[in-house]
Structure 1
Amino acid sequence: MKIYSCETHIDHALEVFVVEQEKFPIMELLPDEEKLSTKCAYCEELALYLVVD
């Protein structure tokens, strides 16, 4: 599971991951080149984080 998230929705993304996967995720900052084109899974803002297992 991968969730791209902006600063506003990172708490929600972490919570959703834990509930659905039943384990703790890894939260990574996106590289600068990906920040320019990747949208948050919950809004239209640019994603800053990637939540993965």
Structure 2
Amino acid sequence: MGVLTTLGQVPPYGGFTVLREVSQHTNIKLSQVAEDILKYAQGAAPPEVLVGEAA
């Protein structure tokens, strides 16, 4: 959630909501969404399925 707050300008109280919504919309487990976001923060490309959710 800290990565979302820093990179995505999501308020701290909204981080879990964002993770949950992306998980539900993409049918990817919440823990995997969180892991992918951490990898992105470390320089990896985001998974293609998550790129569409950011729009």
Structure having the larger proportion of residues in strand? 1
Q: What is the TM-score when the length of structure 2 is the normalising length?
A: 0.38
Higher relative contact order structure (alpha carbons within 8 Å, sequence separation ≥ 6):
1
Between Structure 1 and Structure 2, which shows a larger proportion of helix residues? 2
Give the TM-score normalised by structure 1.
0.39
